[in-house]
Amino acid sequence: MLLLAGLSFFLFYFNAVLAAFDPLLVGTWSTKSQKVITGPGFYDPIKDRFQEPDNTGISYSFTTDGYFEEAYYRAISNR
């Protein structure tokens, strides 16, 4: 019984990992403003430099090996 439970958990976990990684999900997606883009044009970690975009927005980039990068810029008004 314990072996069956362990096997069931393994199969469930394996399917969840496969579902979370889609090799066809590759490229960059950005909101309508097209002003917030991932990469060193948004934030350069080597130079520790942030480039403030003209407009707010969100951008996601996905690689073929399962990595992703997210850029999120929003404005909060002064009350």
In tens, the pLDDT along 18-42 reads 445 667 778 888 888 888 888 888 8
Helix, strand, coil fractions of the chain, as percent rounded to 5: 25, 25, 50
Gap between the terminal Cα atoms of the chain: 62
Q: Higher confidence at residue 60 or residue 18?
A: 60
- pTM of the prediction? 0.61
pLDDT at 15: 47
Given this model, what pLDDT does residue 38 score? 86
What pLDDT score does 58 carry? 92
More confident residue, 8 or 69: 69
3-state secondary structure at position 69: strand
Residue 42 CB-density burial (10 A; 0-12 exposed, 13-18 middle, 19+ buried): buried
CA distance 12 to 30: 33
Question: Going along 1-79, which residue ranges are E strands?
Answer: 27-30, 43-44, 49-50, 57-62, 68-73
Q: How confident is the model at residue 77 (pLDDT cuts 50, 70, 90)?
A: confident
